[in-house]
């Protein structure tokens, strides 16, 4: 039995299914991210775990104890709110101590644990400041310290980085991960930022319109997206129509049309697509960085560069080809990039293509 289990958890607001039949098992010590666009139900799911939103249906079991209908102030979970929700009339130390005070922990132990928690988030020197005297990043650390000082069974993070600027966010991501590793607290984070979810979680739960579409490790979610939505939402993707021409177990050979059949494109069947027939029209996904630009005439496809974008470590090219507009990502190797209008060849490895959907959907 997992540490935290959500079984058929559903929340309806009137006719609207905010969250529908969410099933999720989180192991002890795991860092799980709920990832999805706004309005996908990830925050509602977190609020149901926290107890601020009543579940319409389903069960939430924490460490063998059914907490579905437990009041939020009896669940004892640590929560970092999006707005941080620090108590503005209390100093940093008082903020952090509040949870311990509510648990009737003695003054000496309280002071000791507050000091430890603040040291963990590197704020020990600012214990006597008030929240309004702190920067955004510091406030976020206080919120984190306040949540972990009570040694909660589960730490819930509600878009914790969304109010930080890009550079600080990156630093905090690594720091958050390091702190979580150190204290080993089971953590569930809600985020709409796919790079954040990929970089710090053990598993990502991709949600769309109130439902879970894929639960996987970040690497697998990126490399083996289960459907069109996941492949588009996590990372960049070229979506191509194709046709299945042969099958050998889980390996299928696909035809991209345009005389590209003989180039030996293969893909692996995703778990949920067990039934495919030769001749089925499918949607395929190929990541921009799996494509290579080569000299005109070489490669599988010839194309023209229509525009290019400099991303620092990479160049992103938009090229026009028989397959339509395709994104190609190339490492910035310090050489002169290709000019717009250049004719190039595009090549890829036979196994770079992913099968994402059985029937091609437009848009």
Partner 1 sequence: MASAPPLSSDNADNADSARNANESGNGSNGDSGQRAGSTRRAPWHAFVPLWLMCAPAFLLFAALVLIPLAMTLVLTFYRFDPASGPIAAFQFGNYAEVLTSSYFHTIFLRTFGIAFVTTLLCVVIGTPEAYVLSRMRDPWRSLFLLVILAPLLVSVVVRAFGWSMLLNPNGLVNQAFALVGLGPYKLEYTTFAIVIALVHVMLPFMVIPVWTALQKLDPQTENAALSLMASPATTLRRIVLPQLTPGILSGSLMVFGLSASAFAIPGLLGGRRLKVAATAVYDEFLSSLNWPLGATIAVLLLIANLIVMLTYYRLLERRYARSMG
Q: Rank residues 77 and 284 by Cβ distance to partner 1 and give the closer one.
A: 77
CA-based max dimension of the chain:
77
Q: Which is nearer to partner 1, 133 or 259 (CB)?
A: 133
Give Cα separations from 134 to 28, 111, 126, 138 (angstroms).
Answer: 33, 21, 9, 6
How far is the C-alpha of 256 from the C-alpha of 310, rounded, in Å?
29
User: In this complex, which beta carbon is closest to partner 1, that of residue 42 or of residue 228?
Assistant: 42
CA distances from 178 to 82, 124, 137, 153 (A): 20, 18, 16, 18
Phi-psi domain of 84 (left: phi exceeds 0; alpha: psi -120 through 50; beta: other)? left
Q: How wide is the angle at C-alpha 16 spanned by C-alphas 10 and 19, nearest 5°? A: 25
Question: In the sheet that 16-26 helps form, which strands lie side by side, from edge to edge?
Answer: 16-26, 4-13, 57-62, 65-66
Among positions 9, 46, 86, 197, the unique one binding partner 1 when judged by CB under 8 A: 86
In the bound complex, what is the minimum distance in angstroms from residue 280's beta carbon to partner 1? 49
Residue 134 CB, shortest distance to partner 1, in Å, is 12
Footprint of partner 1 on 124-143 (CB under 8 A):
130-133
Q: How far is the CB of 96 from partner 1 (least distance, A)?
A: 10
3 binds partner 1 (CB under 8 A): no
Does 266 interact with partner 1 (rule: CB under 8 A)?
Answer: no
Restricting to residues 135-194, which ones interact with partner 1 according to CB under 8 A?
Answer: 146-147, 150
Name residues contacting partner 1, limited to 22-81 (CB under 8 A). Answer: 50, 52, 71-79, 81
Give the nearest distance from C-beta 133 to partner 1 in angstroms. 8
When asked if residue 306 is in the footprint of partner 1 (CB under 8 A), the reply is: no
The binding site for partner 1 (CB under 8 A) comprises: 50, 52, 71-79, 81-83, 85-91, 98-99, 102-103, 130-133, 146-147, 150
């Amino acid at each position: 039995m997992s540490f935290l289990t959500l079984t058929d958890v559903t929340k309806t607001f009137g006719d609207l299914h905010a969250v529908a039949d969410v099933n999720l098992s989180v192991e002890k010590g795991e860092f799980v991210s709920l990832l999805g666009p706004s309005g996908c139900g990830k925050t509602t799911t977190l609020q149901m775990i926290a107890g601020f939103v009543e579940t319409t249906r389903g069960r939430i079991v924490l460490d063998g104890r059914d907490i579905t209908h437990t009041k939020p102030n009896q669940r004892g979970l640590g929560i970092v709110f999006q707005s941080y929700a620090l108590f503005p009339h209390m100093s940093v130390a008082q903020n952090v101590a509040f949870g311990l005070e509510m648990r009737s922990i003695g003054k000496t132990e309280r002071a000791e644990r507050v000091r430890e928690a603040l040291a963990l988030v590197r704020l020990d020197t600012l214990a006597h400041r008030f929240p309004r005297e702190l920067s955004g990043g510091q406030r976020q650390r206080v919120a984190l310290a306040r949540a972990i000082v009570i040694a909660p069974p589960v730490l819930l993070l509600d878009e914790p980085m969304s109010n930080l600027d890009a550079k600080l966010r990156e630093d905090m991501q690594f720091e958050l991960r390091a702190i979580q590793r150190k204290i080993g607290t089971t953590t569930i984070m809600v985020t709409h930022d796919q790079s954040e979810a990929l970089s710090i979680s053990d598993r990502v739960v991709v949600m769309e319109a109130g439902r879970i579409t894929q639960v996987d490790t970040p690497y697998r979610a990126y490399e083996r997206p289960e459907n069109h939505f996941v492949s588009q939402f996590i990372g960049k993707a070229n979506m191509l129509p194709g046709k299945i021409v042969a099958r050998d177990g889980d390996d299928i050979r696909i035809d991209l049309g345009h005389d590209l059949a003989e180039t030996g494109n293969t893909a692996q069947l995703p778990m949920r697509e067990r039934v495919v027939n030769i001749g089925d029209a499918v949607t395929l996904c190929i990541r921009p960085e799996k494509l290579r630009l080569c000299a005109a005439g070489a490669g599988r496809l010839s194309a023209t560069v229509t525009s290019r974008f400099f991303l620092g470590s990479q160049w992103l090219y938009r090229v026009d080809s028989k397959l339509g507009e395709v994104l190609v990502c190339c490492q910035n190797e310090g050489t002169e990039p290709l000019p717009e209008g250049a004719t190039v060849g595009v090549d890829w490895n036979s196994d770079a293509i992913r099968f994402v959907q059985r029937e091609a959907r437009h848009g």
